[in-house]
Amino acid sequence: MRCFSTDFKAADMTLQTGRDYLAIPGPSVMPDRVLRAMHRAAPNIYEGELVDMVPGLLAGLKRVARTEGDCAIYIGNGHAGWEAAISNVFSRGDRALVCATGAFAHGWGEMATRMGVEIEVLEFGRQSAVDPAQLTARLAADPEGRIKAVMAVQVDTATSVRTDIAALRAAIDAAQHPALLMADCIACLACDVFEMDAWGCDVMVAGCQKGLMVPPGLAFVYFSARADAARETANCVTAYWDWRPRVAPDVFYNYFCGTAPTHHLYGLREALSMIEDEGIEAVWARHARIARAVWAAVEAWGEGGTVRLNAADPAIRSHAVTTVRAAPEQARQLRRWVRENAGLTLGKPIGMVSEDDPGGDGAFRIGHMGHLNAHMIMGALGAIEAGLTACEIPHGDGALSAAAGVLSRP
């Protein structure tokens, strides 16, 4: 009796079937707990459980950012948060200094330009963090204090370069300049350490779809009392983006200037309780360890190969995302191989071409933010190693054992 067929078609075999890992730097992997929390009937938006849970969500969001300041929630992506932050701080004709370490500060600055703010860019390239000394020097040349705010990105998701936000505050203070400090932490909140109050940050923008593990759709704008004083006179602010009613609404409906993002709030509640259960410092430590495992693997591949970490100095590397430079065609082949053969999706390069490095658009990015543990990152690194081999991309040996070594040691 034949129990099974032996004439299966090996040619149709794929190694892709299984649980996918979307390792692009956002949206990140969504925990089943978050998805299950969102899978429910529409709740009442005027009273009951949803209304009762929002103050607790705001308290949780503030704990994640280490602030006792305010947090406004917007229905939108990170760009919505950018626009909200700009509109509450600036009047048309105000000046801002944008510190650029990749693609995203430019995007935020261009948005401000379109809203009537005069932008000046301090450019730090694609492989360096913001240099606080240059910031101090620039602000010292503005004795009248006409620059209203310094805008910086904590982790640029294109370059994976991380800037020390506390050092920017120190740089502003060293120039005895009144500028507000505005930070984009969209890529890295709840991944890289961030201490809003201790670091003297006035405005911080985040989104829910990266370290916070919720599907895209919520933006958070945190602000200090100093930033709210700027809001008093800001004439860019419009009814929808005004942060004031959103932090102290007369009725619940006005927390969101309209209907609440009901299911996102349930997802967020679950994600925040996962973070609280683990402890934010343990969450940071997990991201740090996983990031070091990724770096160890890439460094091993780079021995005798062409792939290399974009940020040479470990002190300026993000714990949320890693940009790996590689020859453009090889990077493309690798991304395709792991997607089609291993269920792993890596990030594309963005904005890596520069005059000093014209071939620089060759890169892939590994998102390691949010819901991620040791076996997931080892699986991703193993898939990349298989892809490097399959695509005949020269690379050094020992990447997986180097990564495992990092994970195994405190």
Ligand X SMILES: *Cc1c(COP(=O)(O)O)cnc(C)c1O
Binding site for ligand X (CB under 6 A): 26, 77-79, 104, 153, 157, 184, 186-187, 207, 216
CB of 211 to ligand X, least distance (A): 10
Residue closer to ligand X (CB basis): 126 or 177: 126
Comparing CB distances to ligand X, the nearer of 37 and 350 is 350
- Kindly tell me which of 135 and 187 has the beta carbon lying closer to ligand X: 187
- Report DSSP letters for 120-174, one per residue: EEEE--SS----HHHHHHHHHT-TT--EEEEEEESB-TTT-BB--HHHHHHHHHH
CB 295 within 8 A of CB 317: yes
Smaller CB separation from ligand X, 105 or 388 = 105
The 10 Å Cβ neighbour count of residue 296 is 21
If the CB atoms of residues 109 and 305 are measured against ligand X, the closer one turns out to be 109
Instruction: Give Cα 402 distance to the centre of its chain.
Output: 26
**Residues in Cβ contact with 323 at an 8 Å cutoff, skipping those fewer than 6 apart:** 158, 159, 160, 309, 310, 311, 349, 352, 363, 364, 365
Please, what is the minimum distance in Å from the beta carbon of residue 79 to ligand X? 4
Residue nearest to ligand X (CB): 78
Least Å from the CB of residue 104 to ligand X: 4
To which residue do tokens 């997607």 refer? 339
Q: Which is nearer to ligand X, 177 or 287 (CB)?
A: 287
Cβ nearer to ligand X, comparing 77 with 87: 77
CB of 208 to ligand X, least distance (A): 9
Shorter beta-carbon distance to ligand X: residue 37 or 187: 187
Q: How far is the CB of 322 from ligand X (least distance, A)?
A: 13
Per DSSP, the three-state class of 247 is helix
Closest approach of ligand X to the CB of residue 206, in Å:
9
Is the alpha carbon torsion for 108, 111, 115, 116 positive or negative?
positive
Q: Beta 344-346 vs 21-23: how paired, if at all?
A: parallel
- The CB-of-168 to ligand X minimum distance in angstroms stands at 15
Q: What is the rounded CA–CA span in Å between residue 84 and residue 399?
A: 43
- SS percent in the chain: helix, strand, coil, step 5: 40, 15, 40
Query: Minimal distance in Å, beta carbon 57 to ligand X?
Result: 19
Q: Closest approach of Cβ 323 to ligand X, in Å?
A: 12
d(CA 362, CA 196): 35
Q: How far apart are CA 222 and CA 243, in angstroms?
A: 9
Q: How far is CA 308 from CA 84, 153, 401, in A?
A: 37, 23, 18
Distance CA 366, CA 346 (A): 6
Closest separation in Å from C-beta 207 to ligand X: 5
SS3 of 332-391: the string is HHHHHHHHHHHCEEEECCCCCCECCECCCCCEEEEECCCCCCHHHHHHHHHHHHHHHHHC
Residue nearer to ligand X on the CB measure, 199 or 337: 199
Contact indicator for 348, 321 with CB cutoff of 8 Å: no
Q: Tell me whether residue 100 or residue 388 sits nearer to ligand X (CB atom).
A: 100
Is 69 in contact with 224 (CB distance < 8 Å)? yes
